Amino acid sequence: MSDTRISPASVSAAATAADHRPVGPARPARNGLFRMARTVVALMLREISTSYGRSAGGYVWALADPILGIALLTAVFQGAMGNTRPLIGTNFPLFYASGYLVFQMYHDIGNKVAQSLRFSRPLLAYPAVTFVDALIARLILNTVTHVIVFAVVIGGIAMIFRLPMVMDVSTVLRALGLTALFGAGVGTMNCFLSMRFPVWERAWSILSRPLFLMSGIFYTYGLMPRAVQEVLWWNPILQLVGLMRRGIYSVYPADYVSEGYIVSLSLVLLASGLLLIWRRYRDLLEMV
């Protein structure tokens, strides 16, 4: 029987070769991104089946809610108040839709993101599911839902009333994207505040009610007195509505809109909310 001995030199050579073997850091990164994407999709499918899949009316209400709201505004301002023309353009439903859909998108995304951890709390006990996955899943699902609602409602108005619409698609998409970003920022911050301080959820519901009247849904920024304009300018939703109307109406310049202000405020809220949740993540889950 032959005696096979391993010399120290051969061990050193093997270790040197192993050290120079290509490691490829991209592979774990790809696996991590794939795992995160799979988790986010699973959370989205769970919410679809939970929120919309229990009955056919769940999907119908996503369209019925804005349609009824726009119809009510049209009936009030065109019928009861006797207005003959909207402040921009010639069609009342289109004018109110350009503001109402933006406000509803911000409001719904903000509320859904704010309750992400409560909604997905049973799944957050698994190591594969993080609070970031829960936030992203709700943000993507509700953003896609509202983009579809926007396309259906605006397209339906154009077809029913036979409007020769020439939209600036890039501006409309920017308005939708910034609305989703601002809703995510507000929702993430409120997610922390409402879990850390339970009274905040009720307080925010009361404090945010005037936003519907302050966001330019049924009036334009330019018609307000100068003193009122200086206060309203700081409302990001009013600027988002103005940006949307700039994209829908080629004659509406909306010079007061500052996209940089909207992005900066949204990112500050988003980053602050994520940092606060990350630092108190486990404590917050125990408070629910």
At residue 151, the pLDDT reads: 95
Q: Using CA atoms, how far apart are residues 127 and 148, in angstroms rounded to an integer?
A: 33
Q: Using CA atoms, how far apart are residues 203 and 10, in angstroms rounded to an integer?
A: 72
Mean pLDDT by 10 residues, the chain (288 residues): 46 44 44 86 88 66 86 81 79 95 97 93 86 95 95 95 92 98 98 93 94 94 95 97 96 96 98 94 72
From 106, 148, 113, 107, select the one nearest 240 (Cα to Cα).
106
Any alpha helices (H) in 208-258, and if so which ranges?
A: 211-214, 226-232, 236-248
Burial class (CB in 10 A: 0-12, 13-18, 19+), 32: exposed
From 167, 187, 181, select the one nearest 244 (Cα to Cα).
167
For residue 106, give every residue at least 6 positions away whose Cβ sits within 8 Å of its Cβ, in sequence order, or none: 179, 182, 183, 186, 237, 240
At residue 121, the pLDDT reads: 86
CA atoms within 13 A on the CB side of 227: 0
For residue 148, give every residue at least 6 positions away whose Cβ sits within 8 Å of its Cβ, in sequence order, or none: none
At residue 55, the pLDDT reads: 58
At residue 136, the pLDDT reads: 96
At residue 140, the pLDDT reads: 96
The answer to whether the CB of 64 falls within 8 A of the CB of 71 is no
CA distances from 147 to 25, 263, 272 (A): 37, 19, 27
The answer to whether the CB of 62 falls within 8 A of the CB of 145 is yes
Q: Using CA atoms, how far apart are residues 214 and 230, in angstroms rounded to an integer?
A: 12
Q: Using CA atoms, how far apart are residues 99 and 216, in angstroms rounded to an integer?
A: 7
Read out DSSP for 168-217? -HHHHHHHHHHHHHHHHHHHHHHHHHHHHSTHHHHHHHHHTTTHHHHS-S
Q: Looking up tokens 């093997």, which residue turns up?
A: 14
Query: What SS3 string covers 45-93?
Result: HHHHHHHHCCCCHHHHHHHHHHHHHHHHHHHHHHHHCCCCCCCCCCCHH
At residue 56, the pLDDT reads: 57
At residue 13, the pLDDT reads: 46
Q: How far is CA 245 from the centre of its chain?
A: 19
